[in-house]
Structure 1
Amino acid sequence: MSRQDETGQAGSIFHVRLRSSANGGAVTGDWYVRPTAERKFTEWIGTYGSLDHVVIQLIEETDAGQETVLKTWTKERGEVVGAL
């Protein structure tokens, strides 16, 4: 995936990642615009957030490839800032 946003500028990619178990696979959506990724994070909580063992994360990946977890959701804890 190119690290250029729709304006051609290099920048972060925002991922929304859903895991259904600690060692299971993940479904990930990728966006260049943080508000869009945050909206999808909220939508995924509405769709999948009540399921047992589901973890939904909003992650920022810098153009250097470093990932930072911005928000995490679990049924048991709700939304927390950062990683669990």
Structure 2
Amino acid sequence: MRPQSTGPAPERYHLTLTADGRPAMHGWWGSKTIARRKFTSWVGEYGSARGARVTLIDEGTDTVLADWPDGP
């Protein structure tokens, strides 16, 4: 879980990796461009793991931006 802050959070884009339904990694970025690059990188690095799922969420709008496999 991300620590709470008293001001606006610059880390708007949340990336998660789960394997067989269990959390494996996560990270937050303030830049959508960097978060999308990380998404692509994580799919390449960890996508072959059994039951892997990589999800990128815009926490500012609570929108899934990318979901692998089978995502936008």
Same fold (TM over 0.5): yes
| TM-score normalised over the length of structure 2 | 0.78
Q: How many correspondences in the alignment?
A: 67
Which 5+ residue runs of structure 1 have no aligned equivalent?
6-11
For 2:51, what is the secondary structure of its paired residue? coil
Which runs of structure 1 show a deviation greater than 6 angstroms over 4 or more consecutive aligned residues? none
Unaligned residue ranges in structure 2 (runs of 5+): none
Q: TM-score, normalised by structure 1?
A: 0.68
Q: CA RMSD in A?
A: 1.9
Highest RCO, 1 vs 2 (Cα 8 Å, sep ≥ 6): 2
**1:13-33 deviation line (CA, Å, top 9, x unaligned):** 0011000122x2242110010
Matched-pair identity in %: 34
